[in-house]
Structure 1
Amino acid sequence: MALRYGVDPRAMSTLPGLDPETLDNDLIRVPNHTMWSICELITLTGIAEAGVAAGASIAPGALDSWGYLFATGDSLADGLRAAAHYSPAVTDPTAAFEVVEDGRLLTVRYRGIEAVPRLSFLHEWVMGMLLRRVQDATSTAATPIRVSFAHAAPRSHRYLTHAFATANIEFDAAASEITFIDPEAGTPPTPRDPELDRIVTRYTEMMMTSAKAPPDWHSTFLQVVSDALARDEVSLDAIANRLCMSTRTLQRRFEEQGTSWRDEVEAVRHEKTLRLLGETDLTVESVASRVGYADARTLRKAFLRWTGQTPDAYRRASRV
């Protein structure tokens, strides 16, 4: 969506968690600060309707199993409560979703995350997404009777009136929320299969408890260098390119951590050499080749500097 609204790809190239390996792994969560940064970048485009349009465009399945929870249970209220309960499967656990029932009125409240400014894009995205999910769950063109936003009013909110099909829109609220009239109690939102509901719920719970953060840039850097050593392709330009950042950005990150390109590559060679000597029977010549040294003599000299002993002495001691 950011690219669609004209955000420069270079502005996102250094954000962690956007590499194909992360995006293709259902159990790895894109870092929250990456998501907030993308929200800010889209906000800076000045396209007022971007948030609500992005939320409304999310088709079933785009949010994995979580999006299907809206259609589980014996009523729309049940589905909304299930989605609110399992919202940590798709967002930061501190972002509170709450379902409030008042007679036949159903309100979904979103308080967002305190550490994040009340970006209009983010809150309008969430309200637009909730509207789309309710419409998909009920198989109707359900329209809210009221929508509130935690952010300040824009110069014109005509696009919101059009998107939510209601003029009852408020701003500067304590929380962003959207209110519907609940269908008749006991009426499922759509024809449903209780066993499928159970499977979707259990899978969402598994996703929520199994999700993990992607490795940070430094961990990724160490792995990229380790892989490149065996191919003798270790250079600042090559590694920076693999990390989708400029050489200057990479060097700046080293400076921030009080280290340098040379020290970091040396550390990878050191760790990989210790592992190969301790876990394999490769000759010192072969180990030297795998860690990017021209010959065994160069490795022995470096190893003596690292440990104060020769590779052969270290191998014997590690296997006693």
Structure 2
Amino acid sequence: MSERTTSSSWALGIVQALEMGGVDCRRLFTELDLDYAALEDPDARFPQDGMTRLWRRAVELSGNPAIGLNMAKVVRPASFHVVGYALMSSRTLKEGFARLVRYQRIIAEGADLSFRPLPDAYALVLAIHGDRLPPARQSAEASLAYALAFCRWLTGRPIRPLQIDFQGGPPEDLQPYQQVFQAPLRFNAEHYALLFERADMETPLPTANESLAQLHDRFAGEYLARFSESRVTHQARQVLCRLLPQGEPKREAVAQTLHLSQRTLQRRLQEEGTSFQQLLDDTRRELAGQYLAQPNLTLLEIAYLLGFADPSNFFRAFRRWFDVTPGEYRARL
């Protein structure tokens, strides 16, 4: 059964953040049966649930529920694996975040990222999934703190988000959160998210380098392909992309193409944290964004390419995915 994993580069950042909070991680790794030496191996990966247990014990030992915010102090591109360098060489933070979303699974598979245009802002939206254990809120808080600190470090400017969203209720002590984020905090939100001003995301980056960006894209793409090929999710997604222009693909057809029974396909997708319906929806959403960036495709053609027999179903689905109509989305592009 395949479990979600976290890259050693991200795990090392977490360890540095915890050690800053006075936690003896070498001892803690032994207690949790995790391999401390593997933190130095750039290709090593740690089980998601192992990282969840690490956060939980670190909170117990330090007595500090806000310990995840220390991630803001360990900013270095290597924490994001090759993705950090791809982000650095992007033209703008907007372009960098698009890369971060594309290659997110290299860093950690337990997180889903999306970067969405809003009427007067951009939102980096984060969902954290557990494997067998529910995810630690410190994991999400660490990701938000790190992403913001990385933006500030990269631009050399004290970027202040318009708002920070947290899924849970407010902590007893808000002070560490106010100090790290320096922005309005909203709790009990639907997702974890950072909301940025459009200008902050569209300003050219001092580290931009087009030829380096292409090189990092190649590295990241190859790593992701190696890492993904063994996954049924990846194989099923490729089949869906081929079948969609012929109409909505049935689970049976995808299972047949992969030489699996429908039941096995469903079980393996479940083990990888998704379902057939969810994967179909995600694939359509991803392709919709790509197709709308091609001005020569009409909205009707895009609806049919995504396997919608009735265009009104496409418009409904699109509004659910992006909170705007396809026409509004394209106008923003």
Bigger shift: 113-122 or 187-196? 113-122
How far apart are residue 160 of structure 1 and its match?
A: 0.7
Aligned-partner Cα distance in 2 for 1:83–1:126: 12
Residue 93 of structure 2 corresponds to: 76
Partner of residue 193 from structure 1, selected from 194, 209, 214: 209
Residue 264 of structure 1 corresponds to: none
Residue 7 of structure 1 corresponds to: 23
Aligned-partner Cα distance in 1 for 2:189–2:211: 39
Amino acid at match of 2:189: A
TM-score (norm 1): 0.59
**Structure 1 residues 195 and 109: alpha-carbon distance in aligned structure 2, compared to 1, 3 A threshold:** same
Residue 220 of structure 1 corresponds to: none
List alignment gaps of at least 5 residues for structure 1: 213-320
Larger helix share, 1 or 2: 2
Post-superposition CA distance 1:176-203 (Å, at most 9, x none): 0011112278642224221100111221
Secondary structure (helix, strand or coil) at the match of 1:101 reads strand
Partner of residue 221 from structure 2, selected from 187, 190, 205: 205
Secondary structure (helix, strand or coil) at the match of 2:152 reads helix
**Structure 1 residues 103 and 126: alpha-carbon distance in aligned structure 2, compared to 1, 3 A threshold:** same
Residue 188 of structure 2 corresponds to: 172
Aligned-partner Cα distance in 2 for 1:109–1:135: 18
8 Å CA contact 1:23, 1:30 repeated in 2: no
Q: How many equivalent pairs are there?
A: 209
8 Å CA contact 1:67, 1:133 repeated in 2: no
Secondary structure (helix, strand or coil) at the match of 2:79 reads coil
How far apart are residue 145 of structure 1 and its match?
A: 1.2
- Root-mean-square deviation (CA, aligned residues, Å) is 2.4
**Structure 1 residues 28 and 176: alpha-carbon distance in aligned structure 2, compared to 1, 3 A threshold:** same
Alignment of 1:58-73 (within 5 A): 58-73=75-90
8 Å CA contact 1:70, 1:134 repeated in 2: no
**Structure 1 residues 114 and 34: alpha-carbon distance in aligned structure 2, compared to 1, 3 A threshold:** closer
Post-superposition CA distance 1:131-176 (Å, at most 9, x none): 012113322111111001112211121211121112x101122210
TM-score (norm 2): 0.57
Aligned-partner Cα distance in 2 for 1:139–1:165: 16
Amino acid at match of 1:109: V
Secondary structure (helix, strand or coil) at the match of 1:26 reads coil
Partner of residue 197 from structure 2, selected from 175, 181, 205: 181
Aligned-partner Cα distance in 2 for 1:59–1:139: 14
Partner of residue 53 from structure 1, selected from 70, 75, 79: 70
Say if 2:163 is the partner of 1:151.
no
Aligned-partner Cα distance in 1 for 2:200–2:157: 14
Aligned-partner Cα distance in 1 for 2:124–2:106: 17
Amino acid at match of 2:113: F
**Structure 1 residues 49 and 87: alpha-carbon distance in aligned structure 2, compared to 1, 3 A threshold:** same
List alignment gaps of at least 5 residues for structure 2: 1-16, 229-333
How far apart are residue 114 of structure 1 and its match?
A: 4.6
Aligned-partner Cα distance in 2 for 1:18–1:195: 37
How far apart are residue 28 of structure 1 and its match?
A: 2.1
* Identical aligned residues as a percent: 16
Post-superposition CA distance 1:218-275 (Å, at most 9, x none): xxxxxxxxxxxxxxxxxxxxxxxxxxxxxxxxxxxxxxxxxxxxxxxxxxxxxxxxxx
Aligned-partner Cα distance in 1 for 2:49–2:156: 34
Partner of residue 155 from structure 2, selected from 138, 143, 150: 138
Secondary structure (helix, strand or coil) at the match of 2:170 reads coil
**Structure 1 residues 34 and 83: alpha-carbon distance in aligned structure 2, compared to 1, 3 A threshold:** same
Bigger shift: 199-208 or 5-14? 5-14
Amino acid at match of 2:56: E
Partner of residue 31 from structure 1, selected from 36, 41, 47: 47
